A and B are shown apart, each in its own frame.
Chain A
């Protein structure tokens, strides 16, 4: 029986619960998504929506007090749930690597770049010091660092934020992982540097055929790099689609709201107000009933008190909204009721 190629990563009903003073914080509430080999999946959402928690859960880097449960977390045919810490650490850095948001603090100030680059490789592969160093220099050059051999003996404080993030990318690539999780890797950088790093990540991802989960709150970034997009809101994935489909036919009111927040040169009249989504994200401490977005949604109705169904819009395009089918079709756009 011939099956379609298995996705690299399949996440099924992933939940992350954190004990807090007021009860239990349901940071991630049963999300499903998958990542194909070699693709760039953008995980989008505002802060606190659970996207970083999701990435840390996949890496197995959450603090011990966090409770991670799922129906399955399959990585290259292997079930990650129930693996020992030792087995997880064999995967980390070797087959799944991570790039963090803050390049200024993500490198150890006490060791040279060379030391920190090589240790990842030498932990997972039987290579000599010289071979590890060779690969580190090669990758530093590949991520666009000049005088790479001299940089190997420098310390993090001698580098700018943009350079440090390039080092982090090189470090993630040391063992040629199948999957890189990049958690807002450009958020802390200057705008011009952001563009360079995005391009670099996109180029390397294609060249090495690495799958990337790119976490961001910025739909502008998504438009530039994503193959597919998963939009998160309040601990749930509310819409999944290819990048084109998402921008062409956003089928969840939250996604539409996010898109309306982006100024479009030539479309948004100068001086006009950008639309912000009114209201605040509901508290995720304790149970959330029905649709989590309904208190901010212009379309909210009585039906929204019940959990919204997973609605299939097209192949590979799913939205979690009672009105998803209507929203997807521009000719049948429902009229938002006038808020008094």
Chain B
């Protein structure tokens, strides 16, 4: 198990390095940064001055090395727009995004796994059809539109919950539902198909031949095996939700990382964009690593590899 974790961690580190190169490179490809920062009315001398001031005149490799060295020490430079440290901005916004992501994932898991299990156990029944309807609707609806619908219904008409803001927990309810619903269909379908497969397996028949109670057969013997791929998917979905919260945070005016990234793109605030992209990518990597480890805990056959 120890060597398994070590190998996976090493792999994750390589992926992280690759992403940092891509992350830096993409910005270089987006055009002359000094011109973009200076704006349309800047003179040639002003652009030159910006170029020197921001270190953009140095060779690309040197720029990358100094950016990476800073990033390792959690120093992403200063924001062009706020004139404060990028890290401070990120630290301020991160809790909002994390809260939203974790809440959304909790909602997605809480709905999709029981629903998937019920649909598989009662295949072809109204429960199964209802689950399918929920899945299809969730896949078909854009999440910003679903978010707006929630606002109209629960914030504007019923006035049960606030439409915007992250000051109180109530502010998180609607965006977490909107984001969680987005992740539900895939996880629900995977649970359902996994359960159907496992329920027809020889070892579930063995469990029944031992006279075990239906609950033991379904939860101990079937779900434990059916849920293994769902764990991997859930980790990917959480990564997705941290990144995908850009849209939802904008719709619900939550001061999270997504909103910061969105605003920084439109303000040409490159150090912030770079930092947010890298941090979200790193979350993704860490989550995938955790999913691998969790999978190995759940499936003893994986540990041997």
Which residues in A have some Cβ–Cβ distance to B below 8 Å?
59, 61, 89-94, 97-98, 100, 102, 105-111, 119-120, 123-124, 155, 157, 168, 171
Contact = CB atoms under 8 A, between A and B. Distances in A.
Given A109-B299, A155-B300, A89 B203 contact: no
Contacts of B211: 89-94, 120, 123-124
A63 to B, nearest CB: 9
A98 B209 contact: yes
Contacts of B299: 109-110
Contact of A106 (B203, B216, B224): B203
A94 B298 CA distance: 29
B210 A105 contact: no
Contact of A157 (B210, B212, B213, B301): B301
B5 interface: no
Given A93-B210, A108-B221, A123-B210, 16 more contacts: A89-B212, A90-B211, A92-B210, A93-B209, A94-B211, A100-B202, A100-B205, A105-B202, A108-B224, A109-B299, A110-B299, A111-B224, A120-B210, A120-B212, A157-B300, A157-B301
B301 A109 contact: yes
A70 B298 CA distance: 43
Interface string B211-235: 1110010001100110000000000
B215 to A, nearest CB: 11
Contacts of B221: 108
A168 B220 CA distance: 19
B202 A106 contact: yes
A105 B203 contact: yes
23 contacts: A59-B209, A61-B205, A89-B208, A89-B211, A89-B212, A90-B211, A91-B211, A92-B208, A93-B209, A97-B209, A97-B210, A100-B209, A106-B202, A106-B205, A108-B206, A109-B300, A110-B224, A110-B298, A111-B220, A119-B210, A119-B212, A123-B212, A155-B301
Nearest to B202: A105
Contacts of B213: 89, 123
B304 to A, nearest CB: 7
Contacts of A157: 300-301, 304
B209 A107 contact: no
Contacts of B300: 109-110, 155, 157
Given A155-B301, A157-B300, A107 B212 contact: no
A111 B225 CA distance: 10
B35 interface: no
A106 B206 contact: yes
Contacts of A155: 300-301
Contacts of B202: 100, 102, 105-106
Contacts of B201: 105
| Interface residue range, chain B | 20 to 34
Q: Which of A92, A108, A124 gathers most chain B CB within 10 Å?
A: A108
Contacts of A108: 203, 206-207, 221, 224-225
A115 to B, nearest CB: 9
Given A93-B211, A93-B212, A107 B206 contact: yes
Contact of A100 (B206, B216, B220, B225): B206
Contacts of A120: 210-212
A110 B225 contact: yes
Nearest to A95: B211
A75 to B, nearest CB: 14
Contacts of A59: 209
A172 to B, nearest CB: 8
Nearest to B209: A98
A199 B299 CA distance: 34
A185 B206 CA distance: 13
A23 B272 CA distance: 68
Contacts of B224: 108, 110-111
Contacts of B216: 119, 123
Contacts of A106: 202-203, 205-206
Contacts of B207: 108
A-B complex: 7 closest residue pairs judged by Cβ atoms: A93-B211, A92-B211, A93-B210, A105-B202, A120-B210, A108-B203, A155-B300
Contacts of A61: 205, 208-209
Contacts of B210: 92-93, 97, 119-120, 123, 171
A123 B209 CA distance: 12
Contacts of B301: 109, 155, 157
Contacts of A110: 224-225, 298-300
A107 B206 CA distance: 7
B209 A109 contact: no
A61 B206 CA distance: 10
B249 to A, nearest CB: 39
